[in-house]
Amino acid sequence: MERYQRHIALAGFGNKGQETIKNTSVLIIGAGGLGVPVMQQLTACGIGTIGIMDGDTIEISNLPRQVLYTEQDVGKAKVAVAAQRLLLMNSEVNIIKYPFFLNAEKALELFKSYDIIVDATDRFDARYLINDACVLFHKPWVYGAVFQWEGQWAVWNFSVNDAEKTTYRDLFPIPPKANLIPDCNAQGVFATVPQIVGYFMANELIKMVLYPKELKSNSLMYFHFLKNSFQSLGIVPRSETIKTPLTAKDILDF
């Protein structure tokens, strides 16, 4: 356990804590600006199984934010390159490649096999699909989003101290219309913002696994790069929000 000796040396952590991390499986949806720091940190920490789902290829405009990739990788599949680099970081981690985009069928097929789902996408349709599939399978999930100089993250469908679980639909019940969605491709995002948010997402996931009572659930964290400010927004469950029992048909009909 020499690799993890700084973890094991932590008071109350020990070999048991590292074994808990090793026995955890995580599905990361999106291998871009948010997914890269999440993948890197979870791999370095020793998460036992990491699934990576993304159907995209690497573009030159990705490189300032997606620091796992290089100029020589342009045109290659993100999932293939990410898996190769992550295994160079930590060969003990089981990396599973899913070189396609999320859809309802894939969510129903794959989510039940993982302990935690990570939304590192930039698509609202994927986000609502992730939310509803996680409700169906009683899976917690970690969410992150960035825009220009701002970022936010949260943990959904996870209860701390027997509090009622909240979901993404408790914050945003209905998907926005397409013409109202801000587009980072057109309006930009600064390179360090997704890095910062991604590392906080990984941090919240590790807390969920090891120290769930320390996790601030039912809240949305907000970060502003220029102001160097952090804010926390409490989320209250809505009675009209989609709750269990959902069915597989509900997901397919989404």
Q: How far is CA 157 from its chain centroid?
A: 13
Give the Cβ contact number of residue 50 at 10 Å: 24
Is beta strand 116-119 parallel, antiparallel or unpaired with respect to 94-98? unpaired
Confidence at residue 250, expressed as pLDDT on a 0 to 100 scale: 75
Distance CA 72, CA 75 (A): 9
CATH of 2-252, one of 3.30.56.10, 3.20.20.70, 3.90.1720.10, 3.40.50.720: 3.40.50.720
Confidence at residue 185, expressed as pLDDT on a 0 to 100 scale: 64
Per-residue pLDDT of the chain (254 residues; tens, 9 = 90+): 799 999 999 999 999 999 999 999 999 999 999 999 999 999 999 999 999 999 999 999 999 999 999 999 999 999 999 999 999 999 999 999 999 999 999 999 999 999 999 999 988 889 999 999 999 999 999 999 998 999 999 999 998 877 788 999 998 888 877 666 666 566 788 999 999 999 999 999 999 999 998 887 789 999 999 998 999 999 888 766 655 567 777 777 76
Structure-token pair, residue 105: 């069928």
